[in-house]
Amino acid sequence: MTDSALRFRQSDGAGDGASPRVEPPIECLDTEQVAPALRPRALAEGNAPLALAVYGLLGAALGLVFTQAQVISWFRIYEMFRFESFHMYGIIGSAVATAALSIWVIKKLGLTTVHGEPIQLSAKAWGGSRVPGARYWMGGVTFGLGWALLGACPGPLVALLGGGVSVMLAALVAALAGTWTYASLRDHLPH
């Protein structure tokens, strides 16, 4: 029963028909990692006006930190890829360490969300491709090429746009075109 329901959901999306392996429903493959059982509630609560205000404030704080730490600077990204400063590595490293420690504490203490739901991160799937992990390294390299050319990834792109670097509007439209193209070619790409 559950199994057939899951299969139905898989075939419902643009899943890769080649692999019969059980993969999370297509919408979970990306960054929405909330455990499937918790999704309905998390989705409903997440759209309440007060919750949205909190997400907006968190985003504003993050955008401000991005700017003041110069993470949004094309020059800093260039410098990072030339290994000529520790700055970006220190930021990424200490961000990962802080986040990892936080996740460890959350798991260790069994903390819940403010709504009382258990917090679970679902594992990222390797996918059923003949080339193991193809989406991660092929997609990763593709992203890296764009990251160094533009000097901005999706977060900083938005921060620059907000700060009036209006040419980032062209970059954003190009990024949306890239996403749409990916969506169109998805079934033909190794994952």
With beta carbons less than 8 A apart as the criterion, state whether 118 and 38 touch: yes
Q: Which position among 6, 19, 129, 146 is part of the footprint of another protein (CB under 8 A)?
A: 146
Q: Does 68 bind another protein (CB under 8 A)?
A: yes
Please state the closest distance from residue 163 (CB atom) to another protein, in A: 3
Q: Does 42 bind another protein (CB under 8 A)?
A: yes
36: contact with another protein by CB under 8 A: no
Among 105, 101, 102, 112, smallest CA distance to 34 is for: 112
- Cβ at position 22, least distance to another protein in Å: 16
Give the distance, in angstroms, between the CA of residue 22 and the centroid of all CA atoms in the same chain: 22
The yes or no reply on residue 75 touching another protein (CB under 8 A) is yes
Q: Spell out the alpha helix ranges (H) of the chain.
A: 2-12, 39-46, 49-68, 74-81, 87-109, 134-150, 154-162, 168-185
Task: Between 1 and 148, name the residue whose CB sits nearer to another protein.
Answer: 148
Is 6 a binder of another protein (CB under 8 A)? no
Q: Which of 19, 91, 128, 129 binds another protein (CB under 8 A)?
A: 91
Q: Does 162 engage in binding with another protein (CB under 8 A)?
A: yes
Q: Does 128 bind another protein (CB under 8 A)?
A: no
The smaller minimum CB distance to another protein, of residues 1 and 31, is found at: 31
Say if CB 106 and CB 113 are below 8 A apart: no
Examine residue 173 and tell whether it contacts another protein (CB under 8 A). Answer: yes
Any residues with CB less than 8 A from the CB of 33 and at least 6 apart, and which?
121, 122, 124
Residue 20 backbone phi and psi in degrees, to 5: -85, 0
Position among 7, 36, 102, 131 found at the interface with another protein (CB under 8 A):
102
